[in-house]
Amino acid sequence: MKRTLFILAAATAVILASCGTKPQPPVAEKIPYVVESNGNERVDNYFWMRLSDEQKNAETPDSQTVNVLAYLNAENDYADAIMKHTDEFQKKLFEELTGRIKQDDETVPYLDNGYWYNTKYFPGKEYPVLYRRKDGTDEPVVMLDVNLLAGGHEYTGVGGAAVSPDNNLLAYGVDHVSRRQYTLQVKDLNTGELLPDNIINTTGQSVWASDNKTLLYVSKDPETLRAATVKMHVLGTPSSEDKVVYNEDDETFSVYLARTKSKKFITIVSSQTLTTEVRLIDAANPGAGVKVFEPRKVDHLYSVEHLNGTFYIHTNADGAKNFKLMSCPENKTGMASWKEVIPHRPDVLLEGFEIFDNYLVADERIKGLTNLRIISLADGSDHFLDFGEETYTAGISVNPNANTTLLRYSYSSLTTPNSVYDYDMAARAKTLLKQDSVLGGFDKNNYESKRLWATAGDGTQVPVSLVYRKGFVQDGKAPMLLYAYGSYGSSTNPSFRSTIVSLLDRGFVYAIAHVRGGSEMGRQWYEDGKLLKKINTFTDFNDCARFLINEKYTSAEKLYAMGGSAGGLLMGAIANMEPELYNGIIAQVPFVDVVSTMLDATIPLTTFEWDEWGDPRKQEYYDYMLSYSPYDQVKAQDYPNLLVTTGYWDSQVQYWEPAKWVAKLREMKTDDNILIMDVNMTAGHGGASGRFERLKTTALEFAFMFDLEGIKE
């Protein structure tokens, strides 16, 4: 009966659409399921939509899998039917979006260990080709053509490309499912042949030891996908014999690997939201064991770099909420030996640093904007790079060499395409190496960007970045897309996106609300938008929307909101809280079933996110999270027009969260506004893997808004 219901729903939507009658959405069956926790009970009528990995991968689907797939396909059919009249427009938008991309593009080469490395793209090809050229020669050589790896696969992700110290071997990870479970492979760069070494279920990242035959990598828990175990593989031996170097027993932590700039040490970093711990491995003697750099302590976050016999430590120890930089000798790593290099400042967030033989570069965020400060190690003198725009983003790029006066950095703004510079720290002169070409007649002088401040309900000033085409009239009649993320301390920088030009050229304003939950205004900005203060993220966004409406940059009838993943949670929350502020909302891979997911430690990412959202097994957090969880707070009210996207293979936010949310919205909402869900059945959290293919989703999102605005070309 269930299967018949869903298949009929899908077929009905298509038939009605073809007959010119308004298609009807699929109706999901309600099967009550009680979710219990510490005496709390909630009824979830759509819990049945959840499939295990075993069910998804089974050669013969069981009845539940058949039902779920039928429902997801019915949703796709309904979305196709609703948007069918925009098909030609979507095709034109896709051509427009891809038409701005230089098809035969390449990155700026960088020098590392005697070779220049860069990546090239070729006309009509979805994936990059990795090249290198020996220093002093003119002929680049292909290291890896991802287009060849992608042949015959609907999804291909490649990560962690690492060249051995002797420059002869390339290790890399491949994922053809989009679950971020990579198979490590090793290629002989002299012969082009693949070695028989094949290591499954890894993070994709690996680090070479100095002997050119030992690889360290991180294995994932097969159920939770937690990066938990560091192993050592010796080329030519079975992976089943790989030695466990370190296993992270605390389920709230995950691990990753790095190699210091000096190349002397491999670091194992155990991390979670509040705490990190670094272990050292001698790269020249990887079998000698690991050494803890500084034992973990709750609320102590730190990272290390090493050069010229000295460790540099980026740390929030001793109340340094916005972080400070310390140093110590390589043979005395304990905190008692740390000496201050850059002090903590309450108004400056030290986000990172780069060390050279004679210079130190600090990546600092001041009043929401990124700044690069150059410090001479000889005399302590310093200066800042001048970027010359009101709102922008800049950051340290690839700098593998220490014995140089050149700093490679990146720069862009809402009007300036992504740019790569070399800056001579001694001569104080910068050289533009490349600015991304934006085809299709783009001229940055046609656009204007601003930085505004919206006042939140509690008086907090929230920065807003926005851009529009010159000639814009501030009369409340322009449509606007307002974007935000607002979680994990991740700052949303006002950087260039060529896709946005399609909005601006059709009269849209594009804005970014730098809401609490990110780190735009320092670490406290993050802490004021997490755990028992998470609601600040949602109210900040609504207050920014109200500010932009009151200032006549747009109106509630023409305002659209967009956010993805944790930003999709934000979209779900604002839809429940103040739906009247928005004409449309686009929720990309939205994390909307907060309480149920955070109660289930078997779901990927759950355990080491309790310090971000709270542990709902504790009543205080359960009640607070329940108060904003979008799925739980759906109510009988009018909602804006909604477009929801998800990926069937998503390991970050499982597909069933948005699917359940959409089903409950259909059941509860009291309006006739559009509600559609686009399910990519072959992709995961990041959508399609190809550089062009992923723009089809962007074309759908833009067509959704343009159609509501009556824009037809």
| Secondary structure class of 666 (helix, strand, coil) | helix
Give the whole-angstrom CA distance, residue 22 versus residue 495: 40
And the tokens for 202? 């890894």
Q: Which residues of 22-49 are buried (b: 16+ CB within 10 A; e: fewer)?
A: ebebbebeeeeeeeebeeeebebbbbbb
Is residue 138 part of the annotated active site? The answer reads no
410 residue type, one letter: S
Residue 403: exposed, middle, or buried by beta-carbon count in 10 A (0-12, 13-18, 19+)?
exposed
The DSSP element (H or E) to which 258 belongs, if any, is: strand 254-259
* Residue 604 vs residues 376, 597, 608, 648: alpha-carbon distances, Å: 44, 9, 9, 14
- Please give the DSSP secondary-structure letter assigned to residue 444: G
Give the whole-angstrom CA distance, residue 77 versus residue 16: 11
| Of residues 266, 328, 307, the one with CA closest to residue 403 | 307
- Among residues 175, 422, 540, 650, the one annotated as catalytic is 650
Q: What are phi and psi of 360, to 5 degrees?
A: -125, 130
Is residue 105 part of the annotated active site? The answer reads no
| Of residues 132, 130, 127, the one with CA closest to residue 160 | 130
- Please give the DSSP secondary-structure letter assigned to residue 455: E
- Please give the DSSP secondary-structure letter assigned to residue 268: E
Residue 434: exposed, middle, or buried by beta-carbon count in 10 A (0-12, 13-18, 19+)?
middle
| Of residues 227, 176, 222, 172, the one with CA closest to residue 203 | 227
Q: Are 531 and 516 in contact (CB under 8 A)?
A: no
- Among residues 565, 596, 651, 689, the one annotated as catalytic is 565
And the tokens for 179? 């679950």
Give the whole-angstrom CA distance, residue 449 versus residue 332: 49
Q: Are 543 and 553 in contact (CB under 8 A)?
A: no
Is residue 615 part of the annotated active site? The answer reads no
Q: Are 506 and 711 in contact (CB under 8 A)?
A: yes
- Among residues 178, 465, 685, 707, the one annotated as catalytic is 685
| Of residues 676, 704, 694, the one with CA closest to residue 497 | 694
Give the whole-angstrom CA distance, residue 119 versus residue 164: 18
Give the whole-angstrom CA distance, residue 60 versus residue 450: 56
| Secondary structure class of 277 (helix, strand, coil) | strand
Residue 297: exposed, middle, or buried by beta-carbon count in 10 A (0-12, 13-18, 19+)?
middle
- Count of all residues that appear for the chain in the document: 713
Give the whole-angstrom CA distance, residue 464 versus residue 271: 31
Neighbouring residues of 10: CB distance < 8 A, sequence distance ≥ 6: 26, 70, 73, 74, 77, 78
Active-site residue set? 565, 650, 685
